[in-house]
Structure 1
């Protein structure tokens, strides 16, 4: 077997890829947002896998769905001292598996967004912004994690820096195109 030879693309294929339509750019943006959503969900499932508050979260969810006065929910999560309830173990195992599923979905969607967009920086900015914001909101809603002003300031700086890189990349691409 001889060495690796990259596949050659035709001039028409390169021109078609260079001039992305507004519809494909919109699809790239929505796909990047969805990729960021799956990244945020992966972090939620990681927290549910490892956090000690998972039992309280499950109790609350069970009591909300069934009835607040039903002792059935409490009996599901009671185990002997030092042991873990089989229900809690099953939920944690499912959450562990969902981490990998969400990460696989995120990478698949992120790759599709990169293929649909002219600018990889734009896709990265949108993916990161969606991931930051949804992780913060889900952490606050599900785990009562505080959202300090310092956290929002830091996340904003990261997104702003990514936007500046994206704008620089877009300006350089348009300069090269006009030459």
Structure 2
């Protein structure tokens, strides 16, 4: 397999995982209390009441639309990566790994969520298990 084709599916798989992570962030922002505080700040910026429901619903609607958009982009990138790669398992492993790590970082940056060491151990075991399964599947081809 050429290195250009290899790097193409790899970039697409990582981008797909990143889009999945952002999809989750936007889904959470559609319903979380953090969005209410952000909409209050936006309302005050425009000299409106801090509890303006139109602004809050508009921002929540925007986050919901972004959730749908990033979900669609994620599936498009993932499907394209599958068509370019020699192994669907490799694409899935890279996609899942990117999604896990980027989700953890975004959770920390946006929601101030900290993940305990046990989460990192569990995530590492899931990724390692996926890699082992991927290598086993490649060996049978």
TM-score, normalisation: structure 1: 0.73
Tell whether 2:23 aligns with 1:42. yes
Tell whether 2:134 aligns with 1:171. no
From 104, 110, 121, the equivalent of 1:153 is 121
Give 1:57 shift. 3.9
Larger radius of gyration: 1
Whether the 8 Å CA contact 1:40–1:131 is kept in 2: the answer is yes
Q: Which residue of 1 aligns with 2:103?
A: 135
The 1:144/1:89 distance shift into structure 2, 3 A limit, reads same
Q: Which residue of 1 aligns with 2:50?
A: 78
Q: Which residue of 1 aligns with 2:36?
A: 55
Question: Aligned with 1:88: secondary structure?
Answer: helix
Separation in structure 1 between the aligned mates of residue 49 and residue 107 of structure 2, nearest angstrom: 23
Structure with more of its chain in helix, by fraction: 2
Unaligned runs of 5+ in 2: none
Give 1:33 shift. 0.2
Separation in structure 1 between the aligned mates of residue 39 and residue 91 of structure 2, nearest angstrom: 36
Separation in structure 1 between the aligned mates of residue 37 and residue 8 of structure 2, nearest angstrom: 39
Question: Aligned with 2:33: secondary structure?
Answer: coil
Give 1:147 shift. 1.3
Q: Which residue of 2 aligns with 1:121?
A: 89
Whether the 8 Å CA contact 1:32–1:126 is kept in 2: the answer is yes
TM-score, normalisation: structure 2: 0.91
CA-atom RMSD in angstroms: 1.9
The 1:157/1:58 distance shift into structure 2, 3 A limit, reads farther
Whether the 8 Å CA contact 1:132–1:155 is kept in 2: the answer is yes
Separation in structure 2 between the aligned mates of residue 78 and residue 27 of structure 1, nearest angstrom: 47
Question: Aligned with 1:53: secondary structure?
Answer: helix
Q: Which residue of 1 aligns with 2:11?
A: 30
